[in-house]
Each structure stands twice: as C-alpha cells, then as structure tokens.
Chain A
Amino acid sequence: MAIITTQNLSKIYNPDTIPVHALRDVSLEFEEGEFTTVRGPSGSGKTTLLNMIGGLDIPNEGFVEIDGTRITGMKDRELINFRLNNIGFVFQAYNLIPVFTAYENVSFIMLLQKREKSEMKERAEELLTAMGLSKKFDSRPKQLSGGEQQRVAVARALASRPKFILADEPTANLDTDSAMNLLDMMEKMNKEENVTFIFSTHDQRVIDRARRVITMVDGAIDKDERKSPPSKGESELSEQGDDSLS
C-alpha cells in the first residue's frame, strides 16, 4: 500500500494577477522504503510538489493522503502536529538552530514530541553516531562543515521517527565528498531502517543513487522511472511513461 498518494494536484500562484502554474494535475504514489528523486529544471515544480506532500503548501485542486490520512484541508494546528509526527524535513540550507549544539538540534524535535528524556538521549546519540558525528555532539552549527551540518539535519529529520523524509536539494551546497558521504548515510538509513526518502534535486550524484526518478517539466510529471533492484548490479533506468502511477 502506498504511504503517500497525490491525486490531481494543481497549484496556481497569483491566480488573480499573473497566474503561475506551479503544478498541473500531478498524481503519484510512493511506497514505503522508496529512495526517490524528483528532478527537473528550476521552476519545474519540484519544491512545490514536496511542499504539498509535506503539508507546507495547499493545492488549488486535488489532495494529498499520507498513510490513508488526507492532509489536504486539515486545520493548521492539526497539520503542524501531523508534520511533527509523520514527516521529516531536510532543507537545502540545513536550517539548523544556530544556538543549539548538534545534539540539541537532534533532540529538539523529540522534545516537541514530548518523548522521554532517556529515549531522546539514546536516539540522538545513535543517529549522530550513525551519521559519523560521534565527536561533534557538542558542536554548534557554526563549528561544523556544510556536510556535517546537513548530516545533523538528516539526523534531526530521522529523530522523530517519521513515515518518510522530504529532502529539498540536500546536496546543493555540498562538495562532492560531502555529498557522497551524505548520500551514503541516507542510503544506509533507507536500507537498514526502511526509511522512505523523497528528494528534489538537479544533482546528478543524487539522481544516480536514486531507485526511482520522477522528472518534472512545467509543473507536470514528464517521466516516472524506476531502476532495477541494485542487487542485480544494474544501474539503467526502466522507463515507465509520462505521469504514470508506479
């Protein structure tokens, strides 16, 4: 069963002045454990799609369902609470809290969830260690490299035990080593913990590692491709057609 379903999503910005069609009739399904990228040129609607799925923006038409719960039309307060407990976010600019240490940044979301202190500590330490940051617990974002900051952001997104993680251009500000390292970490979490990842990106390094690639053009799905299972050692894409539901 799909954990994310978008049905006929459309989004028009400035409908009364100069309308911009950011999304056109987008219908997609995402299964648990997917490692998917949404690619496309700037302005193609990648981020808008992720924002819709993440409940950060409201579609003009269509709806989003997450694990059977329709989030489109939810009240603001319900939606914030839903995001807290179901969705992890990783942003291009890391967006860590600069006055908190790496450990506190990861714990913070669990504090919002009112988790037990011991559980918070154990989870934050485990995630930071898994991200290769065991010696950086007490470092503030300023004291970390870009790659390290983004790994803290991934740890933060995972800390709330979300159903899936939305990562908007996560490698855009990273050098190759850092980007590859980050992707290793995320792939590891995907495989070991079956965490679903959905990226928006132009970064070929990310696209190469994805097992499903959705291409967007002018707000619509142009292609939705799935790679063969990596265990077979294949890397080619198997095309499934425009706007298709996988």
Chain B
Amino acid sequence: MLLSISWRNIWRHPARSGVLMMAIIAGLWAGILVTALTNGWIHQRFVNMIQEEITHVQIHHPEFLTEREPWMYIQNKDEIFRFLERDERVLSWSARTLTDGMIQSPLTTSGVQIRGVQIDRERATTTFHENLTTGDYLDSELRNPVLLGERLADKLNVEVGNRIVLTFQDLENEITSGSFTITGLFRTASNPYDERNVFVRSDDLQDLLAGEVVFHEIAILVDREELSDSVRTDLNYQFDQIIAETWYELSPELRYITDAGGNLIVYIMAVILLALAFGILNTMLMAIFERMRELGMLLAIGMSKLRVFVMIMMESVILTMTGAGGGLLLAWLTLGYLGEKGIDMTSMGGDSMAEFGYDAVVYPIAYTNDYVTTIILVVVTALLAAIYPAIKALRLNPGEVVRE
C-alpha cells in the first residue's frame, strides 16, 4: 500500500521528479565513470608491476635491495629452486642476475640497471616480452644480445643492430665491460623504467660478472595473489641467508595505490551524493509543503505517524533509486563499451602519465563492489535527505491543516 502511494506521489509532478532523476542519473554516471577510470589506471599499474616485473614474491640476499653489491647473490639457490619446483602454490619462477653499471654508445653514456634473465623462465613468469616493439627477444643467435627501452635508445642515439658497451663491477670489485648487440627495443607504461633498465641473458652477464652461475633475485609467480603471504613465510622459515618478500613489501606504494583505489568510490560518491542530497531535500520539502492538507487528512482519518513517516521516506528512496537505477544502467552500458575500447588519453596529456608509470590508454573498470557501494550510499543519502521533511510532516496538527 505504502509502496503504491509513494510511487504515485512521485509522479504527481513528473517534470520536477524527472529533473531530479536526471540530476541523479548524470551524477552517478559521472561518478562511476571517474571511479572506473581510476580503477582502470590502478589495475593496469598493478598488472604492469606484478606481471611484468615484480611478480608476487621475490627472494634476495638480505641486504641486496639496499646495498646492491654484486657479491650479495643468493647462496643457496639450488635448494630454493628445488623447493619452488615442488611447491604446488608456485605457478612459475625465474632467477635474475642483476647489477648496476654504465651503458655507452658512440654518442653518450648513461647509468643503467643491467638485468640478466633466464629467457624461457622469464617468459613463463612475466609478460615483459610483450613490451617488445622492435626487433627480437633475447633468444637471438647473436652473441651478447641486449634489449633497450625505446627512450634509452633515443637518448643514446642507437637502434636495433647497433652495438653498445656495458661496464660494471665484477665480484672481485674489478671494473669489467662487454660489448652487446641491440636485438630489440621495448616500451613499457613507465618512461623512467624504460630509461633505466637493459635486459641481457643471465648466462652472458654471469660470464662477465662472476665466471660462475650467480643469481641476485628469484621472482615467483603464485597461483593466486592471496597465496603470496604463505609462500613468503614458508621461504623465510625454510631458508637462511635470504629474505623473501611479497609484492606489497617490495613496492609499498603499489599497495597504497591499490588500497586507496578501493575507497575511491566512497569518496567520489560521497561528494556527488552530498550535492544531490540538497536536491532531494528541496524536492521532498516542496512535496510536503504542497501536501500539508492531505497529510493532515491522513493523520486525521487514522494513518499512524509511523506510516506517514515511512511513506515519505519511501518516496525519497524510490525517487532517488529510480534515478540511481538509470545512472547505474547508463554507467554499466558506457563501461561495457569503454571497457573494451579503452580511453586513449594521449591527446589529453595522457603521455605524461607514463612518466609516473601509468598507461596512456585506460580501460575503465567498475567492480561489483562499486555498484553495491553506490546503491548503499544512494539509499543512505535518500533516507537522510528525507528525515527533515518527514519530521515536518509528523509535526503537523491535523485539526489545523485540514481546516486551512
């Protein structure tokens, strides 16, 4: 009964209710779109970082990440490899030989991190190889192949087929260098990363660095992200002389971004709905003022105050939820399209986002949770906005208003 009367009351003034609904539709559509855009950015950043480089868990010498000395390699690597091969939680792993050094072209030099990778294992563990834009991956038959970021290649004024020299400190603290042939160029979402990293085969780097098989890093991809903690704990418990860390320990900023993104919908929607709350309040107040006599009559003939209160609250909720339904539907349809096509932000200065490691083409994502949160916030807003008009209605003296 109350539902029916509330619904019909909303449509007494179709234009007024319609305008408010349009405002709600536009507000929620924009709010969800902005949230989805940011979600997309964060998700892509997360995927880029986890899938292309960090993976879920990494193992290092306990001091390697702070000191980055070549001799700080993983001593008990064979035992760890065996453990990883046996562990069902581990999807794949890849060992890396790392060192810092200089890259020299005929034109200039630059400081770089030299990353020696196991070709097949790296390909199975990360998606870095998908970033190759020119040339071949490291499985070239050429001696000492190297991959450079496009930006670094530009800076050094080199291209595929050219040779560069990598100079670094070996395990004996002697300066050593080697000539490498550029077989490919890559481009990731992060410009700084592309300028600072070069990729070589771990075997080639080990020959120059140590003359033996040394690895400074083991990157581990687990079956599900939630398993990261337990794998990290077990590795630290089982093995001395190493430290295993999860992705969020290795990259706290990534965790911060991911966590902050989770609350984003609440902040954006809270601002939008706060503005809409005044619209709802205004509409409901107008509805109450022009129906004073009718509400007085309802109280006079025996409709309880609770029912009158619920009826007004329901009107507000139905009015708001009808608009919200439209907004959510529109957002869902828009995201269905944009989620596939992506939004190319290049022409809107999106390229500068790459300086911070974010993609220029964003694929907006709205999670189910975002829709649920929005619905909850909309209902709460509608209820809060209707409390004052409903209380006004309850304060009516039916004897007076029916006479007026």
> What separation, in Å, do the CA atoms of A13 and B98 have in the docked complex?
92
Segment among B136-144, B170-178, B299-307 that sits at the interface with chain A: B299-307
Residues of the A chain whose Cβ atoms lie less than 8 Å from the Cβ of B305: 76-77, 80
Whether A80 contacts B304 by the Cβ 8 Å rule is yes
| Given A51-B399, A95-B402, residue A80 in contact with residue B293 (CB < 8 A) | no
Closest A-chain residue to B293, C-beta based? A95
Q: Of residues 298 to 341 in B, which have CB atoms within 8 Å of A's CB atoms?
A: 298-305, 307
Inter-chain contacts of A1 with B (CB < 8 A): none
Interface size for chain B: under 10, 10 to 19, 20 to 34, or 35 or more residues? 20 to 34
Q: Are B9 and A83 in contact (CB under 8 A)?
A: no
B365-404 interface mask toward A, CB cutoff 8 Å, 1 = contact, 0 = none?
Answer: 0000000000000000000000000000000011100110
Contacts of B224 in A (CB 8 A): none
Check: A9 CB closer than 8 A to any chain B CB: no
Stretch at the interface among A96-104, A212-220, A224-232: A96-104
Could you say which residues of chain B place their CB within 8 Å of the CB of A76?
305
Q: For B165, list chain A residues within 8 Å (CB).
A: none
* B300 close to A81 (CB less than 8 A): no
Interface centre among A54, A95, A100 (most CB of B within 10 A): A95
Which residues of A lie under 8 Å from residue B403 when comparing CB positions? 47, 51, 92, 168
A89 B301 Cβ-Cβ under 8 A: yes
Does A85 count as interface, using CB distance less than 8 angstroms? yes
Residues of A close to B304: CB separation below 8 A: 77, 80-81, 112
Q: In the assembled complex, which residues on chain A have CB atoms less than 8 Å from the CB atom of B12?
A: 98-99
Q: How many angstroms between the C-alpha atoms of A106 and B304 in the bound complex?
A: 17
Interface string of A67-106 (1 = CB under 8 A from B): 0000000001100110111001101110101111000000
Contact of A160 with B by CB under 8 A: yes
Bound: A40/B297 CA distance, A: 24
Residues of A within 8 A of B348 (CB): none
A56 contacts B by Cβ under 8 Å: yes
B301 contacts A97, CB within 8 Å? no
In the assembled complex, the Cα of A152 lies from the Cα of B293 at a distance in Å of: 17
Determine how close the nearest CB of chain B comes to the CB of A52; give it in whole angstroms. 9
Closest to A99 in B: B8
A76 to B399, CA, bound (A): 13
Measured CB to CB, the nearest residue on chain A to B306 is A77
- Of B5, B294, B301, which is within 8 A of A84 by CB? B301
Q: How many A-B residue pairs have CB under 8 A?
A: 71
Q: How far is the CB of A147 from chain B (nearest CB, A)?
A: 19
- Render A143-156 as a binary contact track against B, CB cut-off 8 A, 1 for contact: 00000000000001
A56 lies within 8 A of B294 (CB): no
Residues in B1-48 with C-beta less than 8 Å from chain A: 1, 5, 8-9, 11-12
Interface residue SS majority, chain B? helix
* Contact flag A99-B398 (CB < 8 Å), given A81-B302, A89-B301: no
Given A51-B399, A99-B9, check contact A112 B300 (CB 8 Å): no
Asked whether A111 is an interface residue with its Cβ less than 8 Å from the other chain, the reply is yes
Contact B301 A100 (CB under 8 A): no
> Is A109 positioned at the interface, with any CB of B under 8 Å from its CB?
yes
Nearest-Cβ distance from residue A72 to partner chain B, whole angstroms: 14
Kindly report which residue of chain A lies nearest to residue B394, judged by CB atoms: A76
Q: Cα distance A192–B304 when bound, in Å?
A: 31
Known pairs A56-B399, A95-B402, A168-B403; A111 contacts B1 (CB<8 A): yes
- Interface range on chain A: under 10, 10 to 19, 20 to 34, or 35 or more? 20 to 34
A175 at the interface (CB under 8 A from B): no
The interface bits of chain A over 20-57 (1 if a CB of B lies within 8 angstroms of the residue's CB, else 0) are 00000000000000000000000000010001001011
Most chain A CB inside 10 Å of its own CB: which residue of B8, B300, B301, B403: B301
B402 & A83 in contact (Cβ 8 Å cutoff): no
Closest to B297 in A: A95
Q: Residues of A contacting B298 with CB < 8 Å?
A: 97
Alpha-carbon separation in the docked complex, A57 to B401 (Å):
12
**CB distance A83 to B301 under 8 Å?**
yes
User: A85–B303 Cα gap in the complex (Å)?
Assistant: 11
* In the bound complex, CA of A112 to CA of B298 (Å): 10
B302 touches A84 (CB 8 A): yes
Tell me the bound Cα distance from A108 to B295 in angstroms: 14
Contact indicator B302/A100 (Cβ below 8 Å): no
A-chain residues with CB within 8 Å of residue B299 when the two chains form the complex: 80
Contacts of A47 in B (CB 8 A): 403
Which residues of B sit under 8 angstroms from A111, Cβ to Cβ?
A: 1
Instruction: Collect the chain A residues with CB atoms within 8 Å of residue B297's CB.
Output: 89, 91, 95
Are A109 and B402 in contact, CB atoms less than 8 angstroms apart?
no
Bound CA–CA A89/B402 (angstroms): 10
Q: A57 to chain B: which residues have CB within 8 Å?
A: 397, 399
Residues of A within 8 A of B302 (CB): 80-81, 83-85, 109, 112-113, 160
How near does chain A come to B222, taking the closest CB pair, in angstroms?
60
Most chain B beta carbons < 10 A, residue from A47, A56, A112: A56
A95's partner among B8, B11, B294 (CB-CB below 8 A) is B294
B8: which A residues are within 8 A, CB to CB? 99-100
Most chain B CB inside 10 Å of its own CB: which residue of A47, A76, A88, A99: A99
Q: Which 6 A-B pairs have the closest CB atoms?
A: A84-B302, A56-B399, A99-B8, A95-B297, A51-B399, A57-B399
Name 20 interchain pairs, CB-CB below 8 A, sorted by A.
A51-B399, A54-B399, A56-B399, A76-B305, A80-B299, A80-B303, A80-B304, A80-B305, A83-B301, A83-B302, A84-B301, A88-B301, A95-B402, A97-B5, A98-B12, A99-B5, A108-B1, A109-B301, A112-B301, A168-B402
Q: A80-B299, A111-B1 given. 19 additional CB < 8 A pairs? A: A47-B403, A51-B399, A54-B399, A56-B402, A57-B399, A76-B305, A77-B304, A80-B303, A83-B301, A84-B301, A85-B302, A89-B297, A92-B403, A93-B402, A98-B294, A99-B9, A109-B301, A112-B301, A113-B302
